[in-house]
Structure 1
Amino acid sequence: MQPRSIRPGPSRPAPASRATWVTLVLAWFATFTPAFTQEPNFDPVGFAHVGSPTVGGGNAEPIPVRTVEALIALASADGPRVLRIEGELNLQGRTVRVGSDKTLVGAGQGAVLQNGTLLLRHATNVVIRNLIIRNAPEDGITLYGARRVWIDHCTIMDCGDGLVDLTHGTDEVTISWCRFGYQNLRNQHRLASLLGASDRDTACRDRLRVTYHHNWWDQGCLERMPSVRFGRVHVFNNYYRAPGNRYCIRSRLFAEVRVEFNWFEDVQNPWEVYVTTGDQGRLFAAGNVEVRTVWKASDRRVLLVPGTDSVFVPPYPWRPDPPHRIPDWVTQHAGAGRGPFAP
């Protein structure tokens, strides 16, 4: 496949030569110029920060955490806590319950949680930043009925189920500047981020308001980048390069998904709609760049759509980065130890 054009608005792409692709990009910028940023901005934005920022433990004195036992005890304790995780902690298959008003932040470039899950069950006001989370037997992070959660500058890899899954009425979440991927390609459940546990997860109706921005969906991801039931989800300025994937973004039952100013490279189906029962999901797409993408309907329930649906308007201020900057900016600054956490 040849590079495809930038998508200034909701229209299906057509194959183009590289010269034509460049011409179309320049023409688009000449006629439609949003208020792009000029350099990476790591300030909080998105659904987690509507009304007021999600601050977790806020100004509480940071507590160094060097053992699994300390992490388990402090993460579930009452009251605001800022937990500064140091070094590598092997959870040995355990689940860490994270309570309300908590910040979990990695120290430096080497804070690792491996072989276990962070569970936010009905927790509110939680911040998770600068952590490497890998090799969990199940999810890396599970949000179960959680509210007002900001996950930022984390690297989440090689988990047995989802990398970050959001279910059972989770709401008001921002996932930003994270890196997702799989190195173990023998794992066939390389399904990155699911919103809505099933078509019966009706607690998610009118909830699951989630923003994904500036994330790096890396090699090994097969599906669910994300896959959305019920939610109102804004996906902007993400970098997708996952050769061999099945699809990137999926809108399904009752969902509204807004896909803007992302870069899709060497992937199949940058977005699609999946039809099961009830109301069909909707999707709007604009300003995206596609390079060597392939579009393929894997079965009769998959709809390849242009992205012309009417969907929600984000209730927060946001300014996109110019799409041509996304590959460099996201690969330089997304993940643990990057961006504001770089040495």
Structure 2
Amino acid sequence: MLHLTPGPRVLNVIALICAFAASAVFANDLALNADSLAAEAAPVIATQPLSQTVKAGSAVTLFVVTRESDLAYQWKKDGFAIAAATRDSFEIASAQRGDSGNYTVDITNPSATTTSSTATLEVSPVSAASVAFQGRLFTAPRFVPEPGAVITAPIADGFARGATGGGNITPVIVTTAAEFKTQAESSAPAVITVSGTIDLRALPGVSIKSDKTIQGQNAAASIDGQLFIGPGVSNVIIRGLNLTYPTVPEDGAEISPPSLADFDALWSSPGGTLAALAGTGGTPLIISGASRIYVTHCSFFDAEGYLATVTGGADNVTFSWCEFYYQPGQPRLRLGMLIGAPSGETKPLHITLHHNWWSDLIEQRMPVTTYGHIHQYSNYFKPAPSTPNVAGTEARASSQLLSERNLYHSIASPLTKSSGGLIRTLGNTYTATTGTAPDTGSDNVFVPPYSYATLNNTGLPSAIATYAGNTAGALSASIQFGSMSIAETLFSIPVGGTFTLQASLTNIAGATYQWRLDNTPIPGATAASYTVSNAQLTNNGTYTATITLMDGDTIVSSPKTIALSVPFIAGENPPASNSGTGGGGGGGSPSVWFLIALTILAAHRIHSRK
């Protein structure tokens, strides 16, 4: 065996080895302690919030468990902070469909913030108090009218403004298909109140005549079948109804048509009669060739075809505060709305779509338009988290779409155009959208001829979930706004002149202004009045003023069109004479420009002779 006698050098080496080992251990301890401190810096979640599926009206509690105290919490829905939701749990006393979404909570200590995993809440449209008929269900009323509440005639807006329906005629209550058909197809003005469920499926449909108001008695008022408003009909109001027409066999047999292409072929160049449209599938409401039609606070759901169509040159139609959706088990062709037939239209269809909820299981076409001049504002596109779609709003040939302050959430290909369609966007919001990116919306389109109001996109989801659809029949409530118009100082404005536009408010107090020219904001034009000095032809166009209120909602004025006149100089550019049947006109004094030209020519000849 070899024995080493430790000398000074050996001892030094041993000391160095020990020191190195000790430093390595110390460094490792430091790294472990650093990692431990870093881990302790961020809040640790012991129990994540859980996803839930509940019926409407149920109580819901989302909670999170942490390992620390003295933490700050902020719950969020779909990425937006929920006001006053700052505890370790978040409660919803009576969940409604608008509460469906993706929830997270941010947990913060003095050093860092931890975000929880996502909990998905799905609220079924079916509640314990729902009203059932024909195997389908309607959501229970969200409002209970006060005793003695008076039903008043609605005030139509948008392109349908001026529609009065049956006016203030004493309503007649109908409870059967026969009663409804008699009243709706009468040539006399009428206000028809639907009580309970009217089943029209045994009929080819009901052709509504002019000067009618068709309204629900309450949130359970429903029509199962097809309503048709045809050519020559005008001044119809439909409000506070559940409208459906699912013709799928109960045994789940295949429907006809079997494909979207076949279905489009059925709608190409549709005729103007109910019989001609009979093969286009189960659509609850068909408007073809009619005018001044106002549809408000209706719930459209479960159709074999589209939920609603506007074709055949129909004009001046508004859908407001409506809900569009499908329930599980419906056919794969779950289409929203058709505006303008794929072929055969010959003139623009002026349609307003505002404050509508495009909701669960609509696969596409919210809407799709050909030849439509559509003003779509403050619409909420938000299906339940488990109901993905294929496409959103589509502008096709000869269409113009003004899309303003709409909120697209979890929508595939939200806003697209093809075949020469035009889109102008103002203030839209896109959240968690997929597929084709939304159109940039920079095209020149029409300017709406009326005043209107848009909601702040942050508050839009709760407002739509509260008010859209048939919430209380004819007593369904809407958010009320004021209006704004523009006064001008001169009626005839020459080039080089001055004009002033003044915003005039009704029932609103101003906050901030923004003037627009042909839908485009004018830089620096942010006062109640707008003045142009030394006006030029580039100042021609259609002007509107927007006012943003303290809560972020906006009022847009009715428009004012400025067309500058070119000063007329005596003898210059005289109008052509078309007198006589042969030969020229002639005569009269030469124009100023003609005399100038002669002078220049004479000077040139004199100069050339020198």
TM-score by length of 2: 0.46
Partner of 1:318: 452
Q: Distance in 2 between matches of 1:168 and 1:81?
A: 25
Q: Distance in 2 between matches of 1:340 and 1:86?
A: 11
Deviation at 1:43, TM superposition (A): 5.5
Deviation at 1:209, TM superposition (A): 0.2
Partner of 1:69: 178
Matches within 5 A, 1:40-51: 44-49=156-161
Partner of 2:351: 210
Q: Distance in 2 between matches of 1:141 and 1:340?
A: 18
Deviation at 1:235, TM superposition (A): 0.5
Query: 434, 440, 455: which one pairs with 1:306?
Result: 440
Change (3 A) 1:324 1:154: same
Partner of 1:237: 378
Deviation at 1:90, TM superposition (A): 1.4
Q: Distance in 1 between matches of 2:473 and 2:442?
A: 34
Secondary structure of 2:451's aligned partner: coil
Partner of 2:210: 100
Deviation at 1:323, TM superposition (A): 1.3
Name the aligned partner's letter for residue 308 of structure 1: S
Secondary structure of 1:296's aligned partner: coil
What's the CA shift string for 1:57-94, capped at 9, x where partnerless? Answer: 11111001111001111101012100011011111242
What's the CA shift string for 1:86-138, capped at 9, x where partnerless? Answer: 01111124201100000000001210111x10000121000000000123431
Partner of 1:82: 191
Query: 274, 289, 292: which one pairs with 2:429?
Result: 289
Larger-Rg structure:
2
Structure with higher RCO (Cα < 8 A, 6+ apart): 1
Q: Distance in 2 between matches of 1:246 and 1:45?
A: 31
Does residue 131 of the first structure (1) align with residue 241 of the second (2)?
yes
Name the aligned partner's letter for residue 209 of structure 1: H
Matches within 5 A, 1:132-281: 132-137=242-247, 138-198=282-342, 200-203=343-346, 205-206=347-348, 208-242=349-383, 243-275=387-419, 280-281=420-421
Deviation at 1:295, TM superposition (A): 3.0
Query: 470, 473, 495: which one pairs with 1:336?
Result: 470
Name the aligned partner's letter for residue 216 of structure 2: G
Decide whether the 8 Å contact of 1:176 with 1:214 is kept in 2.
Answer: yes
Change (3 A) 1:186 1:92: closer
Change (3 A) 1:308 1:173: same
Q: Distance in 1 between matches of 2:234 and 2:422?
A: 28
Decide whether the 8 Å contact of 2:215 with 2:473 is kept in 1.
Answer: no
Change (3 A) 1:136 1:118: farther
Secondary structure of 1:133's aligned partner: strand
Name the aligned partner's letter for residue 208 of structure 2: V
Q: Distance in 2 between matches of 1:253 and 1:135?
A: 29
Q: Distance in 1 between matches of 2:168 and 2:475?
A: 18
Deviation at 1:325, TM superposition (A): 1.1
Deviation at 1:320, TM superposition (A): 1.1
Deviation at 1:342, TM superposition (A): 4.7
Name the aligned partner's letter for residue 217 of structure 1: W
Q: Distance in 2 between matches of 1:330 and 1:212?
A: 13
Q: Distance in 2 between matches of 1:83 and 1:43?
A: 17
Q: Distance in 2 between matches of 1:264 and 1:342?
A: 25
Deviation at 1:44, TM superposition (A): 3.4
Partner of 2:461: 327
Secondary structure of 1:233's aligned partner: strand
Deviation at 1:188, TM superposition (A): 1.3
Name the aligned partner's letter for residue 194 of structure 1: L
Partner of 2:549: none
Change (3 A) 1:286 1:338: farther
Deviation at 1:288, TM superposition (A): 1.1
Decide whether the 8 Å contact of 1:333 with 1:339 is kept in 2.
Answer: no
- The share of aligned pairs that are identical, in percent, is 30
Q: Distance in 2 between matches of 1:217 and 1:113?
A: 20
Change (3 A) 1:128 1:224: same
Q: Distance in 1 between matches of 2:474 and 2:172?
A: 20
TM-score by length of 1: 0.80
Secondary structure of 1:180's aligned partner: strand
Secondary structure of 1:202's aligned partner: coil
Secondary structure of 1:158's aligned partner: strand
Change (3 A) 1:212 1:342: closer
What's the CA shift string for 1:181-240, capped at 9, x where partnerless? Answer: 011344111111001122x2224x13x100000000001111111111001100000110
Secondary structure of 2:390's aligned partner: coil
Decide whether the 8 Å contact of 2:245 with 2:283 is kept in 1.
Answer: no
Q: Distance in 1 between matches of 2:366 and 2:469?
A: 16
Decide whether the 8 Å contact of 1:283 with 1:308 is kept in 2.
Answer: yes
Q: Distance in 1 between matches of 2:469 and 2:322?
A: 5
Secondary structure of 1:219's aligned partner: coil
What's the CA shift string for 1:28-78, capped at 9, x where partnerless? Answer: xxxxxxxxxxxxxx95320000xxx21111111100111100111110101
Name the aligned partner's letter for residue 159 of structure 2: F
- What is the number of equivalent residue pairs in this alignment? 289
Decide whether the 8 Å contact of 2:191 with 2:212 is kept in 1.
Answer: yes
Q: Distance in 2 between matches of 1:149 and 1:281?
A: 24
Change (3 A) 1:159 1:83: same
Q: Distance in 2 between matches of 1:339 and 1:324?
A: 27
Name the aligned partner's letter for residue 433 of structure 2: T
Name the aligned partner's letter for residue 154 of structure 1: C
